Amino acid sequence: MAKVNESFQQDKLYFIINAADLASSEGELHGVRKHVYDQLVRNGLEEPRLYHLSSKEGLLDKKQGTDQETSFSQFECAFYDYTILELKQLSVTLITNELKQFINKANDSISFMKEETVIKEQKHQQFKDIVATQMKKVDSSSFAYATRDVLHEFEQLVLYLRERMRFVLNDYFGSAINVSVITGSSKRELHAQLAAQIKEWRGLGEYFLKQELGATAIRMEEAMKGRAKKWIADEEIVLQKELPFLFVDQDIEIESINVPLQDLHMTIEATNYLTFLKTKKDFFENGMIKNLKEVLVLDGVEKASNVIEESTQRYRDAFELYFQELENMLKLRLKDAILHELNRFEALFDQTELTLLEEEHQELRKYVF
């Protein structure tokens, strides 16, 4: 969650300690908060937003309609302050900027509409030439650097995942294979239990791997979104040198990239390792479990690397295909914006719109400070 959250521009995580009313004292509650907070920080969450509350008290307050301040109401206030008010502020800023742009555009349009017909026609031809040139520039523009940056970031994350798998498989061994689960009284029972626990260990590793690949995909989707927004913003700036009132919608929606991983498995055959277990004493007291751990983890890392390689190739193919579609979509958006400017310019030849535009221009100026 920490790694996925880092991909977003804003912190999206809230952590809740419920049933705070069950704490016997403020000291106990503080101790729990500190423990949870420290664990979150240790697991990669910088300055986590942590709240303690009682959902029971919150529900009772809402049923009774007392509007008393509770730990639950405090959390609600904080939540809405962070989300709703923040969104409102972003909306106000966006609307204000667009309004200023529209006023400048209206002012330029009014000036054009009041010029002589001959000058208008000359400017019209110049504008059409500019539009034709800019359309060609869009067609020849390259999205390659954005694709390259994201794929490079993906390779770095995959490399990090390969390194982590060794530690993860090592840690999972102790959870899956230990004296509390290998308890059989006969060799057959011991082998059956060991085989089952090796499969359990393998399953834990596969689950972790698929979760990590899924989290990596989400991070890549956000990286794509960021690169796409930067690319189209840069292209808009270039186009505005010739078309100063050009507006391009920079809101980018990235669809989830679904790559099938159900068929990816660490091909560890449990029966190949049963010879490490002859008796419980030999296994636990004479160190055979350590030998098994060394061999099994080493094999697991190799098999996990194979899974990672196969799955990352699927992701690479999916990313490259999606980037091509994304590039086509963004270029089409730029070209639509250019054509919109041409249509807007040609609409200015209709003199019946002049009075209405002047009135609208004066009215909107009231809202810009």
What is the Cα–Cα distance from 320 to 340, expressed in whole angstroms?
30
Strand partners, 19: none
What is the Cα–Cα distance from 83 to 61, expressed in whole angstroms?
23
Q: Yes or no: say if 278 and 187 are a contact pair by the CB < 8 Å rule.
A: yes
What is the Cα–Cα distance from 225 to 219, expressed in whole angstroms?
10
What is the Cα–Cα distance from 286 to 289, expressed in whole angstroms?
8
Angle CA 43–49–50, to nearest 5: 85
Secondary element (H or E) of residue 358: helix 354-364
Angle CA 91–92–98, to nearest 5: 90
What is the Cα–Cα distance from 369 to 366, expressed in whole angstroms?
8
Per-residue pLDDT of the chain (369 residues), as tens digits, is 777 676 666 677 889 999 888 888 888 999 999 999 999 988 888 888 899 998 988 888 888 887 778 888 888 888 888 777 777 877 787 788 778 878 888 888 888 788 788 888 888 899 899 999 999 999 999 888 888 888 888 888 888 888 889 999 999 999 999 999 999 989 999 999 999 999 999 999 999 998 888 888 888 888 888 889 999 999 999 999 999 888 898 888 888 888 887 777 889 999 999 999 999 889 888 889 999 999 999 999 999 999 999 888 888 888 888 888 899 999 999 999 999 989 888 887 777 777 777 877 777 777 766
Give 174: exposed, middle or buried? Use CB within 10 Å, 0-12, 13-18, 19+: exposed
Contacts for 116 with CB less than 8 Å, ≥ 6 apart: none
What is the Cα–Cα distance from 8 to 195, expressed in whole angstroms?
42
| Whether the predicted model's global pTM rises above the 0.85 cut | no
